[in-house]
Amino acid sequence: MNSPDREIEIAAGRHEGDGVVSLCVFGGDLLALAVEGQGERAPTLLLTREQAISLHGALAELISLLPPAEEKMVEPAVAEFGAPPHQSPATEQTARGE
């Protein structure tokens, strides 16, 4: 198999290290899509330009169904570790009643 011309990796999942989606132009006229997570890797799929365009459209359609980012709940790290980084230590102490 030829080596990729260009590769893009996207972190996947809710937590660091959950998985990776890798995309690369392969052989000049194909898009290679690989998915890896939890130490396992699915077979790499080779997509034609038309198939990649269909995938792009499907992703856009499904993304439009997701709630806007502003509606997300408070990040678990904030609830677990206290004040977000933009608050001063004094503000955090006041919030805890110190």
pLDDT (average), residues 7-24: 94
pLDDT (average), residues 11-18: 92
By CB atoms closer than 10 A (0-12, 13-18, 19+), residue 26 is buried
- What's the rounded Cα separation, in Å, for the pair 31 and 47? 5
> How many residues are there in the chain?
98
Q: Report the pLDDT value the prediction gives residue 69, as an integer from 0 to 100.
A: 81
pLDDT (average), residues 77-89: 49
Residue 65 scores a pLDDT above 70: yes
Decide the pairing of beta strands 19-26 and 6-12.
Answer: antiparallel
- Gyration radius of the chain's alpha carbons: 20
pTM over the 0.85 mark? no
Phi and psi, residue 44, nearest 5°:
-70, 135
Q: Which of 43-47, 50-54, 72-76 has the lowest mean pLDDT?
A: 72-76
